[in-house]
């Protein structure tokens, strides 16, 4: 059994509330023992010490209420079996020793520290605080000396800048800075060492999820007098916890519901806790452990009686299960007809980063299932307001074009009743989207190459282009092009024989990079591009979604080369959005359109399909 709460720094001096809760005798001041399995003090002055001092200072200067709290990392303890009335520190000794030095430097009351296997550290730390004499002969002494000097100098500098600094800093540290107190009920040194190894050697952090779990499991004890019944209830919660965690770890589900969540989760169930606590951001001083603090506040608000806190803990766990059922229902709506709409609308809104998942979660409580679906449809429509598809241009409206093409893909999948693409794979889309920091993410692929007219200058790249083109057209004997007059009505069709062109490409391909005639190559390249496509290059009608990594492999390639590469990429397991694959397979083109030539007819037909899909959605 473990017990967990938050305590202001002042209570580390005398843990009256903890001792009252545990029916322990009160003491004049607390003693914390640092057991022999702990490593020495190793916090670095310019990293760890300065960070702690600055975090408290930043919190002090925030716009806060008088009762707001800033939480430090947890301190994990158990009642000492070797020192009567003392607390054995399992995790958090670096933090606790630093707090001890800081309290002494500020002249505030403090607790006792006892190093079980390092008695010299006891004497040195006392002398260091008394006379400030540093010693660097021992690693413990060195880091303590550096930490003490840093604390003293930092406080001196702040007081020089602001003579009244101490008057504000002391009460904030004493009353508003908290530690998360995690007391493990154990009388076994072996268990304590195992917990220490799990937290430190295994690098498993005490995150919000672990802390919330400890809080709920410890608080329900107040409702069950029978030990067997309590154990069964705790086991039931543990099993339910495990099942939810396993379900949330399924890649398709997790990738779908966390489409625009930037936080990394060690425990996926913590995402549900964040939803409940409306914890939208992490990383700044005043936001540490805000999810845990929200749960603790709910429990404490129920009153001081153990039974009332137990009832609230049980109620909160029920709300966690409800939260999972709610977000899971968004993912599982794939049975029939319009039920797929919730999946696709939620997925699109999250993937396009137009709505926060926290807002959708709250909205879902206020509406019926049909009302929620209609609400989602309205939110999707809002993302299209003011957009004129005919006027979108590459280089000017890239983000809007990506959003429109994403919706085109999503609506295409939503419309299909059966088949492998009846659900757009948001997990794969979001996985690529989150690669943008490493020059990944999603890009706009020109169906007909945007740089087709630009001359190439690198002979090696030119030879690579020749090889790719030769491979792509070797089985194409001719290309049939439609020639239009000024009124854009069809006039005639022209068949172009490729025999001589293929000979020219093959002959030029034999050249050495040092002897390749680049002028002749670029003339040949222009001739090839004129045969395989002639369109406006930058409007929506010549653009498709493709990952940046895959896009880089298609640069300057002619249409048949791009077409073949798209097919190869999909065979390799790369995610090609369904509408991107469709456009390169000429799915939207007239039935008599040749598959190897990207014409204005193809471009017009592609844009017409995008318009139809979106207009049908807007009118529905």
pLDDT digits (tens, 9 = 90+) for 12-25: 999 988 888 778 88
Angle, vertex CA 388, rays to CA 384 and CA 390, nearest 5 = 135
pLDDT of residue 338: 44
pLDDT of residue 438: 58
Angle, vertex CA 519, rays to CA 515 and CA 522, nearest 5 = 110
Whether the predicted pLDDT of 483 surpasses 80: no
Whether the predicted pLDDT of 230 surpasses 60: yes
Mean pLDDT of 566-593: 87
Categorize the per-residue pLDDT at 339 as very low, low, confident or very high, splitting at 50, 70 and 90: low
Alpha helix positions (H), 333-386: 340-351, 357-365, 369-382
pLDDT of residue 203: 53
Whether the predicted pLDDT of 208 surpasses 60: yes
pTM exceeds 0.85: no
Q: Hunting for tokens 């672990």 — which residue is that?
A: 210
Mean pLDDT of 561-578: 90
Categorize the per-residue pLDDT at 274 as very low, low, confident or very high, splitting at 50, 70 and 90: very high
Beta bridge partners of 479: 496
Closest CA to 206 of 75, 65, 34, 337: 75
Mean pLDDT of 569-595: 86
Is the pLDDT higher at 374 or at 505? 374
The whole-angstrom separation of Cα 387 and Cα 35 is 66
Categorize the per-residue pLDDT at 439 as very low, low, confident or very high, splitting at 50, 70 and 90: low
Mean pLDDT of 33-52: 91
Mean pLDDT of 363-376: 88
Q: What percent of the chain is modeled with pLDDT above 70? A: 87
Structure tokens at 341: 């709409």
Mean pLDDT of 421-425: 80
Whether the predicted pLDDT of 110 surpasses 90: yes
Categorize the per-residue pLDDT at 284 as very low, low, confident or very high, splitting at 50, 70 and 90: very low
Least confident of 107-121, 262-276, 335-349, 426-440: 335-349
Q: What percent of the chain is modeled with pLDDT above 90? A: 44
pLDDT of residue 308: 93
pLDDT of residue 226: 85
Whether the predicted pLDDT of 592 surpasses 70: no
Whether the predicted pLDDT of 532 surpasses 70: no
The whole-angstrom separation of Cα 195 and Cα 201 is 10
Least confident of 48-57, 170-179, 509-518: 509-518
Whether the predicted pLDDT of 295 surpasses 70: yes
Categorize the per-residue pLDDT at 512 as very low, low, confident or very high, splitting at 50, 70 and 90: confident
If phi over 0 gives left and psi between -120 and 50 gives alpha, with beta otherwise, what is residue 353? left
pLDDT of residue 107: 95
Closest CA to 494 of 561, 594, 605, 595: 594
- The one-character DSSP state at 339 is G
The whole-angstrom separation of Cα 348 and Cα 237 is 34
Query: Would you tell me how many other CB atoms lie within 10 Å of the CB of residue 210?
Result: 20
Is the pLDDT higher at 74 or at 335? 74
The whole-angstrom separation of Cα 609 and Cα 580 is 13
pLDDT of residue 522: 72
Least confident of 280-294, 304-318, 503-517: 280-294
- What confidence tens digit (pLDDT) does each residue in 471-481 have? 767 777 776 66
Is the pLDDT higher at 104 or at 492? 104
pLDDT of residue 555: 67
Mean pLDDT of 243-270: 91
Secondary structure, 3-state, 505-552: HHHHHCCCCCCCCHHHHHHHHHHHHHHHECCCCCEHHHEEEEEHHHHC
pLDDT of residue 318: 95
If phi over 0 gives left and psi between -120 and 50 gives alpha, with beta otherwise, what is residue 288? beta
Least confident of 307-321, 325-339, 552-566: 325-339
Q: What is the largest CA-CA distance in the chain?
A: 102
State the chain's mean pLDDT as an integer.
84
Least confident of 49-63, 510-524, 570-584: 510-524
Mean pLDDT of 156-176: 93
pLDDT of residue 286: 43
Whether the predicted pLDDT of 404 surpasses 50: yes
Query: What is the distance in angstroms between the CA of the first residue and the CA of the last residue of the chain?
Result: 57
pLDDT of residue 381: 95
pLDDT of residue 480: 67
Whether the predicted pLDDT of 310 surpasses 90: yes
Mean pLDDT of 131-154: 93
Is the pLDDT higher at 19 or at 492? 19
Q: Is 280 helix (H, G, I), strand (E, B) or coil?
A: coil
Categorize the per-residue pLDDT at 285 as very low, low, confident or very high, splitting at 50, 70 and 90: very low
Q: Are 179 and 9 in contact (CB under 8 A)?
A: yes
Categorize the per-residue pLDDT at 204 as very low, low, confident or very high, splitting at 50, 70 and 90: low
Categorize the per-residue pLDDT at 545 as very low, low, confident or very high, splitting at 50, 70 and 90: very high
Structure tokens at 615: 């207009």
pLDDT of residue 481: 64
The whole-angstrom separation of Cα 442 and Cα 404 is 13
Whether the predicted pLDDT of 425 surpasses 90: yes
pLDDT of residue 283: 39
Whether the predicted pLDDT of 485 surpasses 60: no
pLDDT of residue 451: 57
């Amino acid at each position: 059994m473990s017990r967990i709460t938050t305590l202001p720094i002042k209570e580390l001096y005398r843990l009256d509330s903890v001792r009252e809760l545990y029916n322990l005798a009160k003491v004049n001041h607390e003693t914390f023992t640092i057991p022999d399995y702990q490593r020495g003090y190793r916090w670095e002055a310019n990293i760890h010490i300065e960070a702690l001092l600055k975090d408290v200072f930043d919190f002090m200067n925030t716009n806060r209420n008088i009762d707001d709290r800033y939480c430090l990392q947890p301190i994990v303890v158990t009642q000492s079996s070797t020192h009567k009335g003392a607390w054995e520190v399992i995790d958090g000794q670096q933090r606790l020793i630093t707090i001890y030095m800081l309290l002494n430097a500020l002249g505030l009351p403090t607790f006792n520290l006892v190093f079980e296997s390092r008695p010299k550290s006891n004497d040195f730390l006392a002398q260091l605080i008394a006379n400030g004499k540093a010693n660097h002969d021992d690693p413990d002494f060195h880091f303590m000396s550096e930490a003490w000097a840093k604390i003293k100098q930092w406080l001196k500098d702040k007081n020089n800048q602001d003579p009244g600094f101490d008057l504000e800093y002391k009460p904030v540290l004493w009353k508003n800075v908290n530690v998360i107190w995690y007391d493990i009920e154990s009388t076994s040194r072996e268990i304590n060492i195992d917990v220490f190894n799990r937290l430190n050697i295994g690098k498993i952090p005490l995150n919000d999820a672990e802390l919330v779990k400890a809080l709920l499991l410890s608080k329900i004890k107040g409702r069950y007098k029978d030990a067997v019944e309590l154990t069964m209830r705790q086991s039931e919660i543990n099993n339910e916890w495990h099942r939810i965690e396993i379900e949330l770890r399924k890649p398709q589900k997790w990738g779908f519901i966390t489409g625009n969540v930037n936080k990394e989760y060690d425990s996926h169930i913590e995402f549900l806790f964040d939803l409940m606590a409306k914890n939208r951001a992490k990383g700044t001083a005043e936001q540490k452990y805000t999810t845990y603090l929200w749960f603790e506040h709910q429990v404490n608000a129920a009153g001081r009686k153990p039974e009332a806190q137990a009832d609230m803990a049980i109620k909160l766990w029920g709300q966690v299960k409800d939260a999972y059922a709610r977000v899971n229902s968004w993912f599982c709506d794939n049975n029939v007809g319009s039920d797929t709409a919730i999946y696709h609308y939620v997925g699109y809104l999250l993937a396009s980063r137009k709505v926060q998942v926290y807002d959708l979660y709250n909205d879902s409580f206020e509406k019926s299932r049909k009302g929620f679906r209609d609400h989602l449809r309205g939110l999707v429509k809002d993302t299209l307001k003011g957009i004129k598809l005919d006027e979108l241009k590459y280089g000017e409206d890239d983000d809007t074009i990506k959003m429109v093409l994403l919706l085109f893909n999503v609506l295409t999948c939503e419309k299909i009743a059966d088949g492998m693409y009846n659900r757009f794979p948001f997990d794969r889309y979001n996985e690529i989207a989150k690669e943008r920091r490493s020059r990944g993410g999603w890009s706009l692929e020109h169906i007909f190459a945007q740089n087709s007219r630009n001359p190439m200058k690198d002979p090696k790249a030119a030879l690579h282009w020749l090889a790719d083109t030769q491979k792509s057209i070797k089985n194409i004997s001719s290309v049939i092009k439609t020639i239009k007059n000024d009124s854009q009505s069809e006039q005639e069709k022209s068949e172009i024989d490729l025999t001589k062109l293929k000979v020219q490409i093959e002959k030029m391909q034999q050249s050495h990079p040092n002897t390749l005639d680049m002028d002749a190559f670029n003339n040949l390249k222009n001739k090839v591009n004129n045969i395989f496509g002639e369109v406006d290059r930058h409007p929506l009608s010549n653009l498709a979604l493709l990952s940046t990594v895959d896009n880089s492999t298609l640069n300057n390639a002619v249409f048949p080369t791009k077409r073949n590469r798209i097919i190869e990429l999909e065979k390799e397991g790369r995610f090609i959005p369904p509408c991107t694959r469709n456009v390169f397979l000429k799915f939207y083109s007239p039935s008599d359109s040749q598959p190897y030539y990207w014409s204005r007819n193809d471009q017009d037909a592609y844009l017409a399909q995008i318009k139809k899909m979106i207009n049908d959605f807007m009118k529905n």
